[in-house]
Amino acid sequence: MTDDELRGLIDDATFDFTLGETDSALAKLARATEAVPASFEAWHATAEILFSARRFDDALAAAEKAHALRPDDIFINTSLSRIWMERGDKPKAEHFGTRARVLGWKDQLKGG
């Protein structure tokens, strides 16, 4: 799968999700992650859609795969914080929330 095909599949899945077609979106993202297991964007999108569907265990598994690919991404750390909070693990939620804030501060310092 080319980069453009991958991006198109993720975009299509995101569009499906916005239309309320969660199953279709997840099927497309499953194809994307199967074809390109190192796609951070596909794993992160999967985690967010699963989170929205309140499938927290599955969302955590997808988010952890995205995090393994980009541990210094602000957004995946935020996603993990939200997932852990929903799962009732406040210390882990705070860990990832703090990590996201620190990464955000670093990003601001680079730009400022």
Q: Which of 62, 50, 11 is nearest to 3 (CA)?
A: 11
- Measured in residues, the chain has a length of 112
In this model, does residue 89 exceed pLDDT 80?
yes
Helix (H), strand (E) counts: the chain? 6, 0
SS3 27: helix
| Domain count of the fold of the chain | 1
Check residue 96 and give its pLDDT. Answer: 96
Predicted model pTM: 0.91
Smallest CA-to-CA distance from 79 within 105, 39, 106, 52 is with 52
Q: Structural domain of residue 45, as residue ranges?
A: 3-111
CATH code, 72:
1.25.40.10
Cα radius of gyration (the chain): 14
pLDDT of residue 64 exceeding 80, the answer is: yes
Over residues 47-68, mean pLDDT = 98
